[in-house]
Structure 1
Amino acid sequence: MVVITIIVLAFTVIMLQMWKQANENNVRIHEVTAVGTGEPVQLFFISDTHARKINDKMIQNIKGQVDAVIIGGDFVDRRTTKQTLLENIQLLKTLGPIYFVWGNNDIEFDAQKLQALFLQHEVTVLENEAVKIGKDQNFSICGVTFSPNLEQVKEALRSCDLNKTAFIAHNPELFTSVHKHYKPLLSIGGHLHGGQIRIFGWSIQPHGYFKQQGRYFELVSNGYGTSLFPIRLGAKPECHVIKIIFEQNKTFTVN
């Protein structure tokens, strides 16, 4: 009986710690340096919110307006209430204009209904297309659907200066095939949740990361919410502030 009690208590403590970790509010700060001139561009990126309510204090602590808020897919799923969705949109709008790319779980909410709500609340859906942002309007963010073909990617990037472009795809497994043909300055994705549950650092999915390879940068987020159960271990929830700075005489080491 004592052994069973100890096991139950230990399990309860572990589950509480995993629940606590899943509800953390971590904002990662990244800096991207690009060759060129112009005013810096600042992005806020959040993905895989699912049914989680975005923390108001976390958003308020992000100082100043950003040039674009990017929702990297799975903003909702079948568990998400309309109230949570609308509260999250209104909160993100306090930072700046919102751009959305589709994730695999968003359609569970009802894609047509979600599209209508986005239109009503001035959320721009990027579906294999790009838009110009920033004070100088010389930086592009390009968003693609969850499973675009190469022709759709080509069309989306057609009008972009790749050295001044952030390429957004919910599933970062797309990056390998895209980068064989195109090298945008910054590629951003989510979807994998960093594995969500990592046992001794191991999971079937890689942990999120931010890395530089020569003049190109790549960000894969652990995501902000959770799928299935609201618990995490070793893959903390996160969202991101990305500052893009242009330097005319910048040089890079080619990897």
Structure 2
Amino acid sequence: MIGRRGFLKFFGSSIVGLMTLGGYAFGYEPVVRLSIARYQLTPPGWTPGLKLRIVALADFHACTPWMTADRIASICARANDLGGDIIVLLGDYTSGTDFVTGHVDHRVWAAELAALKAPLGVHAIVGNHDWWHDATAQKRGAGPTFSHKALADVGIPVYSNRSARLEKDGYGFWLAGVEDQLALRRSVRWKRQFTTGLDDLSGTLAQVNDVAPVILLAHEPDIFPTVPSRVSLTLSGHTHGGQVRVFGWSPYLPSRYGDRYVYGHIVEENRHIIVSGGLGCSVAPVRVGVPPEIVVIDLG
């Protein structure tokens, strides 16, 4: 039987352990750590000879104290140093948690993102929180949201069910971006019974008019089962890799497919998707086992 001294020692060490874990989960991993997740692949339909480096940033969730303007600036500086041919932003620039000391204005975070530079430019989509926190867009059931406007105002094109043809070293490829799949929130106030998406995958891909490979930007990875093989690679965020992940298990996964598309490079029926672990926090300002990350993808 454990004695009083032994119990108190065990209890004390447990409290210290919990405090240490809590400090790490709330104060270190979300706001200090920054990892680089690297992938290298040649997906189906990729043009021989075309080598492309993509730097992808997802889920900033700007707010204080977890994702300040200074923190965004430092992430952008690191992204610029990674040698990307193109930089893509995968949505959710606004705060995703109520546990904040303040909000970072959309004009402020957009100004920091304007520092991103790449030879083939910076290209963006928006996410569900960009829609959900814009009451005007929710009321009218249509965009643009303040995130659309803020990005456009600093010269970053936003893809809302749009495809554009780009070229590197004489080789063409398409960048396609769908509007958010959860854009219009279920609301008694707005007389909306169900959360509704504004994504139009077929209409977006109908704009592709040659055989060059297609890279699809879609904030939520749940679209992936419907993505045709014509798309060489899908890039998504939204899940934060589970945000808390212990021995491969996460207590909460914001996907109707559970763990299927939670993180990383997934291949199904010779179709490829890479899901970023993201940079910020949603629901609760905590990260364990899924540090904020910048994604670097070398294609070809």
TM-score, length-scaled by structure 1: 0.81
Task: Write out per-residue CA displacement over residues 42-63 of structure 1, whole angstroms, 9 at most, x where no aligned residue.
Answer: 2211111111233255224313
Q: Report deviation, 1:221.
A: 1.1
1:116 maps to a residue whose letter is: K
1:173 maps to a residue whose letter is: D
Q: Please, which moves more after superposition, 66-75 or 87-96?
A: 87-96
Q: 1:102 and 2:126 equivalent?
A: yes
SS of 1:48's equivalent in the other structure is coil
1:253 corresponds to: none
Q: Report deviation, 1:212.
A: 4.1
Q: 1:36 and 2:64 equivalent?
A: no
Q: 1:156 and 2:204 equivalent?
A: yes
Q: 1:87 to 1:7 in 2, by over 3 A?
A: farther
User: 1:68, 1:96 within 8 Å by CA — same for their partners in 2?
Assistant: yes
1:190 corresponds to: 237
1:77 corresponds to: 95
Equivalent residues, number: 240
User: 2:55, 2:79 within 8 Å by CA — same for their partners in 1?
Assistant: no
Q: Report deviation, 1:117.
A: 2.2
Matches within 5 A, 1:164-179: 164-176=213-225, 178-179=226-227
Distance 1:162 1:169 in 2: 21
Task: Write out per-residue CA displacement over residues 125-168 of structure 1, whole angstroms, 9 at most, x where no aligned residue.
Answer: 10011111232361111110112578x21110113257611111
User: Which of 67, 83, 86 does residue 85 from structure 2 map onto?
Assistant: 67
Larger Rg belongs to: 2
2:175 corresponds to: 141
Distance 1:112 1:214 in 2: 35
SS of 2:241's equivalent in the other structure is helix
Q: 1:145 to 1:10 in 2, by over 3 A?
A: same
Distance 2:172 2:51 in 1: 10
Q: 1:73 to 1:155 in 2, by over 3 A?
A: same
Distance 2:205 2:112 in 1: 29
Q: Report deviation, 1:6.
A: 4.3
User: 2:80, 2:116 within 8 Å by CA — same for their partners in 1?
Assistant: no
1:14 maps to a residue whose letter is: L
Distance 2:12 2:214 in 1: 56
Q: Please, which moves more after superposition, 120-129 or 83-92?
A: 83-92
Q: 1:214 to 1:36 in 2, by over 3 A?
A: farther
User: 2:276, 2:293 within 8 Å by CA — same for their partners in 1?
Assistant: yes
User: 2:280, 2:292 within 8 Å by CA — same for their partners in 1?
Assistant: yes
User: Which of 18, 43, 57 does residue 46 from structure 1 map onto?
Assistant: 57
User: 1:77, 1:107 within 8 Å by CA — same for their partners in 2?
Assistant: no
Distance 2:59 2:299 in 1: 23
Unaligned ranges ≥5, structure 2: 1-6, 97-102, 135-143, 182-196, 254-258
Distance 2:119 2:24 in 1: 31
Distance 1:215 1:126 in 2: 26
Q: Please, which moves more after superposition, 218-227 or 15-24?
A: 15-24
2:266 corresponds to: 211
TM-score, length-scaled by structure 2: 0.70
Q: Please, which moves more after superposition, 141-150 or 222-231?
A: 141-150
1:139 maps to a residue whose letter is: F
Distance 1:187 1:162 in 2: 17
2:287 corresponds to: 232
2:222 maps to a residue whose letter is: E
User: Which of 67, 71, 78 does residue 58 from structure 1 map onto?
Assistant: 78
SS of 1:18's equivalent in the other structure is helix
